[in-house]
């Protein structure tokens, strides 16, 4: 009897070892996917604005911050969570539109780098505003469906991770249907393909650009709302989000929505796999080295358009 | 003398004008105020360390107002000059020069982080102006510098307190997950240094970045390391809250988790939620003021500070604001003792601080000890049911 | 005035006059410190302007070279027993060489891809500086030995004011003279049209690389100067925020304008000092001022002013 038990436990440990490495990988994988989904949403925001207006919007991370912070403060004021989230999206969209009308549209025709500086100014402005309007503390939101982790083949996954992944998938699908199946969406695509031609066929490109800023703000805010229960939020989370989102968008190929999603997920995976298998200290470095290597091999990103210089 | 003053004022006015014309902006400080004692402060009120600088700022302003309302120090009102360095050491260095050269402060209470403090030290040492730092790392006061003091417990003490507790529970194999910010890196180095003294072996080591939002990968690796009996997390800010949540997510709560004094505010418990239950940490008496026995000499001070701070700031008290309270009153006592606003004399009096009861502990400084706290200033706490509890010695 | 902004000897003379007169108007040494910071930042910005304004290439990781210079000045004397001057020179060489080798693959990328690649490079360097604490002191930084020249210790605010100003004058002089060299003329062609420049036989890749190396060396020297002036370094100097700050100086002052870089540096160094009186509202104001100035002066402050003057004529 005792012999049998020892035998069993040894076998169990043996299997456990292999099982552990597999579950370890799955843990890394799902963590990376969750983190990456958020990057993907931020990158999608970058892409939408870039396509419509050629602007790289470094204030994109501030929309994520607004999504989280407004929801936190609205629900602290007694507003039910779904309504608070809706308010947050509306606030972010309003800020996105104001950003376009007050800062981007008046600077039409300025060089790309000048407009980048404007968006960086906007990012500092919004952060400064949030610090006054809210506070400088970190905040959390309750998870949408509890904190009890779900076991997937030995990996513990928070229910909120599925919300983040599902939300990202939904956002991508809605955006796809909007761009491909609606008239307004097609106008956005036309504007991104050739602004002059779009204007010639009667598309109001200014409206399209405003639409892109509003939509991009909404996507950012959704990302912020979905992820705050996991990552917490504060007035200054936007900078890091913008940095990672921009990297993801470039990795996937600027201007390609699918590329943004692929880039985001890949960046998230690179970070967690880097932390898990390489070194947690150098995980950001590992991710950026991989980005550099990919860009050297594919100078337009993974799914970017090939462009030809026109004289 | 009068003419000299006038001349200086004129030069200031000319400087402002030229500042406006050349830089397009005014860089003018406030004009001279005669019968006040100027105390300076450079704090990280915004930026990544704002959770330190913000309560410090509120505390200093609150108590300077209180002191002035009660008639000031030695018949003079205190004028507090606060600059926000945003956590940027280079900015802090410039503000240090501004306090010394332009505002001509008697002394400074500030320096929220070790990074900004270390950048400002050369300026204060050179100008011979006392500087009471609010930063954690031991390198601020070791080696001792003539004009530099500090009020928070050192990171080395935090490691010792944690390891002492581990030893009592006869744990020897420990994993460490630390932040790569200044606080985490410095405490990690101190812990590695003193681990041997307590027979502790660090069997796994992981780090995370200051803005990381997911530490499950690092914790999964620790989980997979055989024989880990406890996990120590040197870090501050939101990082430890996320570590604690991920810890529970991965079902590691069976292994004791130790946080540091870097999380010593109620907001940590709020952020970490139920996952914080069972977490232990060394912290100042301030957090458990109402649970202290009445005989405890610190009880009166910490309860009063907690009430005053929470009434004015409308947010839970943290030990960080407490460090500013201690710094301010050590300085005020020194000015009273010196009966003068001369920087040199005030410095000598700060060094003579003896038996000062603050929020961080009972401070007795000496020419070889510019901190004046020992391990007894730290209490070992455990979080239970969303609140701090004092643990019984030996458990 | 327009001629003044275009004649390089007039620019240098005007700069020298401003430098010579300013200290007499300063009520305290604090102003000397701020002015010295302006000179050092302007030095780095001028170098970056050669890359951005002349060669038309963006770098979002330029603080990395600034950090390498700063840490060379710190590590040289502390760990290797080198004199400060030599450390400054070695730092500049390391930065130049690094720029040369990294620049080759990176500069093949265009536009925003170049931006992200330089950004990644900057993050990597900052990460190494933060992590290798045995050499660099880690995230809290390390002290820097004071500079001594012929046994004379440069420590006072005045000494640093004159030293940094002298560096700025030389740096501005070199950058201004670049226009007259074949390299400078090639830059002009490149700026107008990369394809056209290639067609007329300019080795565009080599040219961009040269600008990258020049910019790196400028940033590195500025970093060493700041490190010795502060007596302390920390990894923020190499960080992303600082890179963005340098780019903002160049663009706000005016792409391609040397005077613009100095003005841009002055604005970005002085603004936080002036806005600090607004306390909580400081960042709000800073962001607002940056937006408004870029919207209304899209080419930058100095080109805008010279355009206004030209129109007034």
Q: Which residue in the set C31, C141, C280 is minimally distant from B15, CB to CB?
A: C31
Residue B114 located in a structural domain = yes
How many helices and strands (H and E) does chain B possess?
Answer: 12, 14
Residue B370 located in a structural domain = no
* Beta-carbon separation of A299 and C109 below 8 A: yes
Chain B neighbours (≥3 Cβ pairs under 8 A) are A, C
> What residues does each domain of chain A span?
29-297
| pLDDT (average), residues B268-291 | 91
Number of domains in chain C: 1
Residue of B nearest to C237 (CA): B90
| Cβ(B48)–Cβ(B116) below 8 Å | no
Range of the domain at B51: 36-153+310-364
Same domain (yes/no): B115, B222: no
Same domain (yes/no): B73, B190: no
**Position B23 pLDDT exceeds 80:** no
- The CATH number of whichever domain residue C294 belongs to comes to 1.10.3470
**Which range has the top average pLDDT, B6-15, B58-67, B209-218, C102-111?**
B58-67
Residue of C nearest to B140 (CA): C140
| Cβ(B323)–Cβ(B360) below 8 Å | yes
Give me the phi and psi of B216, to 5 degrees please. -65, -35
| pLDDT (average), residues B197-214 | 93
| Cβ(B147)–Cβ(B356) below 8 Å | no
Same domain (yes/no): B383, B247: yes
* Res B15: pLDDT: 43
Mark out the alpha helices in chain A (DSSP H runs).
2-53, 60-76, 81-98, 112-133, 159-181, 183-193, 195-200, 205-231, 238-252, 257-273, 283-297
Closest CA–CA distance from residue B259 to any residue of chain A (Å): 18
B208 to chain A, any CB pair closer than 8 A? The answer is yes
* Beta-carbon separation of C230 and B118 below 8 A: no
Of residues B175 and A8, more confidently modeled? B175
**Pairing, β B387-390 against β B379-384:** antiparallel
* Res C111: pLDDT: 85
Locate tokens 């990395």: which residue? C64
B145 to chain A, any CB pair closer than 8 A? The answer is no
| pLDDT (average), residues B161-173 | 94
Chain A neighbours (≥3 Cβ pairs under 8 A) are B, C
Residue B345 located in a structural domain = yes
* Residues in C touching A311 (Cβ below 8 Å): 193, 195-196
Tens of pLDDT, residue by residue, chain C (313 residues): 455 556 788 889 999 999 999 999 998 889 999 999 999 999 999 999 999 998 889 999 999 999 999 999 999 999 999 999 999 999 999 999 999 999 999 999 988 899 999 999 999 999 999 999 889 989 989 999 888 877 677 778 889 999 999 999 999 999 998 878 888 888 888 877 888 888 888 888 899 999 999 999 999 999 999 999 999 999 999 999 999 999 999 999 999 899 999 999 999 999 999 998 887 888 899 999 999 999 999 889 999 998 888 888 7
- The predicted-structure confidence for A185-238, as pLDDT tens digits, reads as follows 888 888 888 888 888 888 888 899 999 999 999 999 999 999 999 999 999 899
Cα atoms found within 13 Å of the Cα of residue B334, Cβ hemisphere only:
32
| pLDDT (average), residues B295-303 | 91
* Res B251: pLDDT: 92
- The CATH number of whichever domain residue B277 belongs to comes to 3.40.50.2300
**Pairing, β B36-43 against β B77-84:** parallel
* Residues in B touching A136 (Cβ below 8 Å): 45-46, 50-51, 54
Same domain (yes/no): B195, B128: no
Q: Which residue in the set A114, A284, A309 is minimally distant from C298, CB to CB?
A: A114
Residues B272 and A140: their CA atoms lie apart, in Å, by: 9
Q: Which residue in the set B15, B121, B139 is minimally distant from C25, CB to CB?
A: B15
Q: Which CATH class is domain A29-297?
A: mainly alpha
* Beta-carbon separation of A24 and B274 below 8 A: no
Give how far the C-alpha of residue A262 lies from the chain's centroid of Cα atoms, to the nearest Å.
11
At residue B172's C-alpha, the angle toward residues B166 and B175, to 5°, is: 85
Average pLDDT, chain B: 88
CB pairs under 8 A between A and C: 131
CB pairs under 8 A between B and C: 123
Q: In the structure, what pLDDT confidence band is assigned to residue B2 with cuts at 50, 70 and 90?
A: very low
Surface of C (219-258) touching A: CB under 8 A:
240-241, 244, 247-248, 251-252, 255
Q: In the structure, what pLDDT confidence band is assigned to residue A154 with cuts at 50, 70 and 90?
A: confident
**Position B27 pLDDT exceeds 70:** no
Residue of A nearest to C57 (CA): A113
* Res C3: pLDDT: 54
Range of the domain at C172: 2-312
* Res A307: pLDDT: 55
* Beta-carbon separation of B101 and C33 below 8 A: yes
Give how far the C-alpha of residue C177 lies from the chain's centroid of Cα atoms, to the nearest Å.
17
* Beta-carbon separation of B214 and A240 below 8 A: no
Closest CA–CA distance from residue A132 to any residue of chain B (Å): 11
* Beta-carbon separation of B251 and A272 below 8 A: no
* Residues in B touching C280 (Cβ below 8 Å): 45
Q: In the structure, what pLDDT confidence band is assigned to residue B1 with cuts at 50, 70 and 90?
A: very low
Closest CA–CA distance from residue A121 to any residue of chain C (Å): 4
Q: In the structure, what pLDDT confidence band is assigned to residue B394 with cuts at 50, 70 and 90?
A: low
Q: In the structure, what pLDDT confidence band is assigned to residue B5 with cuts at 50, 70 and 90?
A: very low
**Position A257 pLDDT exceeds 90:** no
Residue of C nearest to A113 (CA): C251
* Beta-carbon separation of A276 and B251 below 8 A: no
Number of domains in chain B: 2
**Position B112 pLDDT exceeds 50:** yes
* Beta-carbon separation of B250 and A237 below 8 A: no
Residue B215 located in a structural domain = yes
* Beta-carbon separation of A136 and B50 below 8 A: yes
Of residues B151 and B237, more confidently modeled? B151
| Cβ(B246)–Cβ(B225) below 8 Å | no
Surface of B (31-50) touching A: CB under 8 A:
45-48, 50
Locate tokens 């921009």: which residue? A246
Residues B85 and B83: their CA atoms lie apart, in Å, by: 6
Residues A259 and A280: their CA atoms lie apart, in Å, by: 27
* Res C69: pLDDT: 97
Residues A166 and A172: their CA atoms lie apart, in Å, by: 10
- Count the neighbouring beta carbons within 10 Å of the beta carbon of residue C114: 21
Residues A161 and A143: their CA atoms lie apart, in Å, by: 10
Residue B24 located in a structural domain = no
**Cβ neighbourhood burial of A278 (10 Å; 0-12, 13-18, 19+):** middle
C6 to chain A, any CB pair closer than 8 A? The answer is no
The percent of residues above 70 in pLDDT, for chain B, comes to: 91
Task: Fill in the DSSP letter of residue C27.
Answer: S
Same domain (yes/no): B128, B144: yes
């Amino acid at each position: 009897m005792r012999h049998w038990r020892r035998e069993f436990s040894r076998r169990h440990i043996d299997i456990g070892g292999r099982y552990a490495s597999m579950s370890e990988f799955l843990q890394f994988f799902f963590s990376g996917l969750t983190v990456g989904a958020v990057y993907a949403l931020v990158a999608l925001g970058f892409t939408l604005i870039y396509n419509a207006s050629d602007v790289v919007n470094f204030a994109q991370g501030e929309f994520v911050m607004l999504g989280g912070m407004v929801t936190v403060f609205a629900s602290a004021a007694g507003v039910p969570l779904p309504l608070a989230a809706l308010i947050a999206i509306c606030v972010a969209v309003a800020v996105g539109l104001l950003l376009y009308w007050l800062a981007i549209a008046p600077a039409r025709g300025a060089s790309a780098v000048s407009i980048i500086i404007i968006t960086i100014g906007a990012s500092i402005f919004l952060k400064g505003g949030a610090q006054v309007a809210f506070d400088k503390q970190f905040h959390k939101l309750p998870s949408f469906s509890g904190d009890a982790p779900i076991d997937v083949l030995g990996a513990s996954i928070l229910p909120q991770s599925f919300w983040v992944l599902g939300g990202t998938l939904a956002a991508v699908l809605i955006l796809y249907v909007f761009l491909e199946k609606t008239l307004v969406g097609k106008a956005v695509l036309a504007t991104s393909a050739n602004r002059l031609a779009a204007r010639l066929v009667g598309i109001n490109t200014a409206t399209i650009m405003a639409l892109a800023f509003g939509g991009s703000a909404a996507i950012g805010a959704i990302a912020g709302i979905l992820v705050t229960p996991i990552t917490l939020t504060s007035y200054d989370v936007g900078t890091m989000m913008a940095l990672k989102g921009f990297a993801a968008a470039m990795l996937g190929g600027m201007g390609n929505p699918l590329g943004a999603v692929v880039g985001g997920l890949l960046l998230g995976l690179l970070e967690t796999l880097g932390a898990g298998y390489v070194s947690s200290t150098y995980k950001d470095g590992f991710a950026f080295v991989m980005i550099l290597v990919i860009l050297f091999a594919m100078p337009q990103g993974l799914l970017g358009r090939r462009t030809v210089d026109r004289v | 003398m009068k003419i000299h003053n006038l001349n200086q004022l004129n030069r200031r006015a000319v400087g402002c004008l030229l500042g406006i014309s050349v830089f397009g902006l005014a860089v003018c400080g406030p004009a001279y105020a005669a019968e006040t004692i100027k105390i300076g402060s450079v704090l990280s009120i915004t930026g990544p360390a704002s959770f330190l600088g913000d309560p410090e700022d509120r505390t200093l302003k609150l108590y300077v107002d209180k002191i002035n309302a009660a008639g000031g120090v030695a018949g003079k009102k205190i004028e507090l000059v606060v600059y926000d360095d945003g956590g940027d050491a280079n900015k802090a260095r410039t503000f240090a020069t501004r306090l010394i050269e332009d505002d001509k402060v008697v002394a400074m209470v500030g320096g929220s982080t070790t990074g900004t403090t270390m950048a400002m030290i050369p300026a204060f040492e050179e100008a011979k102006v006392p500087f009471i730092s609010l930063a954690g790392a031991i390198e601020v006061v070791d080696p001792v510098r003539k004009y530099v003091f500090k009020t928070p417990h050192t990171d080395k003490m935090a490691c010792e307190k944690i390891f002492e507790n581990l030893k009592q529970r006869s744990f020897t194999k420990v994993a460490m997950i630390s932040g790569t910010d200044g606080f985490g890196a410095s405490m990690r180095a101190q812990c590695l240094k003193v681990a041997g003294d307590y027979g502790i072996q660090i069997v796994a080591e992981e780090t995370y970045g200051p803005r990381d939002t997911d530490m499950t990968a690092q914790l999964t690796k620790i989980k997979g390391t055989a024989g880990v009996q406890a996990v120590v997390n040197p870090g501050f800010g939101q990082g430890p809250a996320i570590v604690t949540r991920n810890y529970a997510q991965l079902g590691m709560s069976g292994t004791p988790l130790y946080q540091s004094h870097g999380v010593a505010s109620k907001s940590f418990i709020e952020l970490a939620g139920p996952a914080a239950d069972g977490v232990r940490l060394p912290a100042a008496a301030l957090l458990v003021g109402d649970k202290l026995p009445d005989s405890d000499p610190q009880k009166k001070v910490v309860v009063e500070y907690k009430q005053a701070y929470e009434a004015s700031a409308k947010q839970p008290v943290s030990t960080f604001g407490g460090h500013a309270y201690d710094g301010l009153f050590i300085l005020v006592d020194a000015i009273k003792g010196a009966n003068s606003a001369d920087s040199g004399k005030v410095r000598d009096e700060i060094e003579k601080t003896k038996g000062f009861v603050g929020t961080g502990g009972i401070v007795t400084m000496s020419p070889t000890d510019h901190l004046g706290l020992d391990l007894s200033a730290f209490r070992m706490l455990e979080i239970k049911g969303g609140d701090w509890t004092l643990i019984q010695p030996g458990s | 005035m327009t001629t003044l902004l275009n004649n390089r000897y007039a620019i240098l003379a005007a700069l020298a006059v401003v430098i010579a007169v300013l200290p007499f108007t300063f009520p305290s040494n604090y102003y000397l410190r701020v002015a010295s910071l302006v000179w050092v930042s302007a030095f780095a910005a001028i170098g970056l302007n050669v890359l951005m304004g002349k060669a038309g290439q963006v770098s979002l990781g330029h603080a990395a070279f600034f950090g390498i210079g700063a840490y060379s000045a710190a590590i040289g004397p502390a760990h290797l027993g080198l004199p400060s001057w030599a450390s400054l020179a070695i730092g500049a060489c390391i930065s130049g060489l690094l720029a040369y080798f990294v620049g080759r693959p990176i500069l093949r990328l265009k536009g925003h891809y170049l931006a992200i690649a330089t950004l990644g490079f900057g993050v990597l360097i900052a990460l190494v500086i933060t992590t290798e604490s045995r050499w660099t002191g880690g995230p809290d930084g390390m002290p820097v030995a004071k500079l001594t020249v012929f046994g004379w210790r440069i420590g006072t605010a005045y000494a640093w004011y004159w030293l940094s100003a002298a560096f700025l004058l030389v740096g501005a002089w070199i950058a201004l003279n670049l226009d007259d060299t074949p390299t400078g003329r090639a830059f002009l062609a490149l700026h107008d049209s990369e394809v056209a420049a290639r067609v007329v036989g300019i080795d565009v890749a080599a040219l961009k690389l040269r600008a990258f190396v020049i910019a790196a060396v400028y940033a590195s020297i500025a970093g060493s100067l700041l490190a010795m002036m502060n007596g302390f370094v920390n990894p923020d100097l190499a960080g992303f925020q600082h890179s963005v700050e340098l780019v903002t100086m160049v663009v706000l002052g005016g792409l391609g304008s040397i005077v613009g870089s100095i003005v841009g540096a002055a604005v970005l160094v002085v603004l936080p000092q002036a806005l600090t009186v607004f306390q909580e509202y400081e960042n709000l104001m800073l962001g607002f001022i940056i937006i408004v100035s870029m919207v209304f002066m899209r080419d930058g402050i100095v080109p805008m002013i010279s355009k206004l003057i030209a129109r007034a004529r």
